[in-house]
Chains A and B, each alone.
Chain A
Amino acid sequence: MRIVVLVKQVPDTAAQIQIKPDGSGIVEEGLKYILNPYDEFAVEEAVRLKEKISSSELFVLTVGLERTKEILRTCIAVGADQAVLILEEGEPLDPFSTAELLAKKIESLHPDLILSGKQAADDDMAYIGGAVAQRLNFPFVSVVTQVEILENGKKAKIKRQIEGGEEIIEVDLPCVLSAQKGLNEPRYPSLAGMMKAKKKEIEVIKAADLVPDIRKFARTKLERLQPVPVRPAGKILQGSPEKMVKDLVRFLKDEEKVI
């Protein structure tokens, strides 16, 4: 079985994100970057399937910058066989263009199964899995919590959590699945895995070499980022109970105009 996992490098979820004054992006200095936490579940699931199904091959694929190689090494350290970086160092691409690049590369890998995280922890867009499936004309099941491969890799049985229960879905392969928390417990990379990852060659393709007119694919344009308006501080009433009740009523009537 040939498995492709789509991964993204995102700022550490514990980091304090600051928006640049001009709203064009976030301040990157001093930020630590990590493998998107939902992608960890996707990678772990792929490694487990690979361990279960003999002669499987596991590719990890990302669109990113030079530094994005770090997360590919993390993936190799936990069991990925091949890693591909589609390098795009210009203005960030919109998700539609990113999906086009990924789909283009996936076509040449002829996978039986594609996995991604259910969403990226930075932009929460939850877009790529579905867009890649659409572009490749593959079925897509999102937010999955269990994967079982059936009939010699022709079908898969999927579980997904829904309000008040679980949905069990059968899907033909190849398909795209997006991983939800709870799918598995991701392993830690071992020292031996890290050493293997260090030696492994990462394939780098320039975005423009893969899709020459990639800049024409954009369907959306990021206008600007802006901070959430700060909530004004609360008011604390003071004095005797009678005075506080009077003040409260006046506040609700005259200032907030809710009564």
Chain B
Amino acid sequence: MLVKGAGISFDLSEDHLMIQDMVRKFAEKEVSPGAGERDRSMEFPRDICSKLGELGLMGVNTPTEYGGAGMDSISYAIIIEELSRACASTGVVAAVQNTLAQLPLYRFGTEELKRKYLPDLAAGKKIGAYCLTEPSSGSDAGSLQTMAQKNGDFYFLNGQKLFVTNGMAADFFIVYATIDKSKGNKGISAFVVERTFPGFKIVRKEEMLGVRASGTAQIAFENCRVPVSNLIGEEGDGFKIALTTLDSGRISIASQAVGIAQGAYDAALKYSKERSQFGKTISNFQFVQEMLVDMITYIEAARLLVYRSSYLKDKGVPFSKEASMAKYFASTMSEKATSHALQIHGGYGYTKDYPVERFYRDARVTEIYEGTTEVQKMVIARNILGG
């Protein structure tokens, strides 16, 4: 959808360029060097989170009165892309921290909750996570089973959560639970749960194909005691909060997908000019050129979709369909582009001596989390067909 505005411009502002420059340098110097090692060891990038916090990159869209940088969504998209270009794990860690953990609070939380939790999250002093998915509830988030029963000044939570990015390292968790299963979506409510609350348990760390340094955890609540003041919004607001958060989250993952693809493309372009076969560098061969051309063309198209959905969000108009389009296109593009990058590297690309196999594995998950590709298509279909 094109909306009435100032006319089409493809220029980034001076601020955006300055931010891009800073994050790119930071990512090259501080994030990229350890990325391969963290992928192997599955170590969470805790130090990097602190540094990102100091630079304001952990609360990019969070309002300044709660310690955030109060910047626009395009700045945010640029930041997630640049971080992911160096290390996809760091990209998703920052994305969850910025959006999934903080947006529910600054959009729906009470003044007390905002003051209590946002400043430390935005500063990277505390880590946040988001618990929606459960063993029997994935794409169908409305079917979640975790129960919240009110008793006096507390809710008592019981249930299990899966695939919690940042979970291993997080201090604060946004948790979705139902106060009454018979109410369906209307029973779902959102809470802030601290790691130290009685009854909170980390079950285990997930061992995964990609984004291996993202501290992804399984979590259980066993009569976990949560003060009533930690309810976000009203009882029953949870589903709306989850969907609103995921709309913005899709911009994060689309940006991450673009960043991973760009990182893989950079590596492939360089390699194609260095590797010689048949007496020429492989960049001379048209089949190799075609892969490079396809990569960069699709990367640029994906980036424009990301920028456009961010732009619509900043304008305050509906952007759900556009965010889904950006995520669908960017994540499928990223899978293909990283595969091309590996192919251009030949056998070397299949080894851990080059970063492309990591990009290839990391790209895969962008088609799954924060709504699978199929779910994005459902969202787009619903938008164009109604119902």
* Residues of A participating in the B interface, judged by any CB pair closer than 8 Å: 70, 73-74, 77, 188-192, 194-195, 198
Q: Does B26 contact A (CB under 8 A)?
A: yes
Complex Cα distance, B55 from A188, in Å, reads: 7
Contact in complex: B25, A191 (CB < 8 Å): no
B101 to chain A, nearest CB (A): 18
Contacts of B304 in A (CB 8 A): none
- 30 residue pairs bridging A and B, Cβ less than 8 Å apart: A70-B14, A70-B18, A73-B18, A74-B18, A77-B18, A188-B22, A188-B25, A188-B26, A188-B55, A189-B18, A189-B22, A189-B55, A190-B54, A190-B55, A190-B56, A191-B19, A191-B55, A191-B56, A191-B57, A191-B60, A191-B69, A191-B71, A191-B75, A192-B56, A192-B69, A194-B15, A194-B18, A194-B19, A194-B22, A198-B15
Interface centre among A70, A74, A189, A191 (most CB of B within 10 A): A191
- Mark interface residues in B103-115 (1 if CB within 8 Å of A CB, else 0): 0000000000000
Complex Cα distance, B21 from A73, in Å, reads: 13
Contacts of A77 in B (CB 8 A): 18
A199 to chain B, nearest CB (A): 12
Additional A-B contact list (5), CB under 8 Å, known A194-B19, A195-B69: A188-B25, A189-B22, A190-B54, A191-B56, A192-B56
Contacts of A198 in B (CB 8 A): 15
Contact residues of B: prevailing secondary structure: helix
Contact residues, B227-260 vs A (CB, 8 A): none
Contact residues, B52-81 vs A (CB, 8 A): 54-57, 60, 69, 71, 75
Contacts of A70 in B (CB 8 A): 14, 18
A77 to chain B, nearest CB (A): 8
Contact residues, B144-163 vs A (CB, 8 A): none
Name B54's closest neighbour in chain A (CB-CB). Answer: A190
B63 to chain A, nearest CB (A): 13
Interface centre among A73, A74, A189, A198 (most CB of B within 10 A): A189
Contacts of B15 in A (CB 8 A): 194, 198
Name A191's closest neighbour in chain B (CB-CB). Answer: B56
Complex Cα distance, B22 from A256, in Å, reads: 52
CB-CB nearest 9 A-B residue pairs = A191-B56, A191-B69, A190-B55, A190-B56, A188-B26, A192-B56, A188-B22, A189-B22, A194-B18
Name B26's closest neighbour in chain A (CB-CB). Answer: A188
A75 to chain B, nearest CB (A): 12
Contacts of B18 in A (CB 8 A): 70, 73-74, 77, 189, 194
Complex Cα distance, B15 from A191, in Å, reads: 9
Complex Cα distance, B26 from A248, in Å, reads: 52
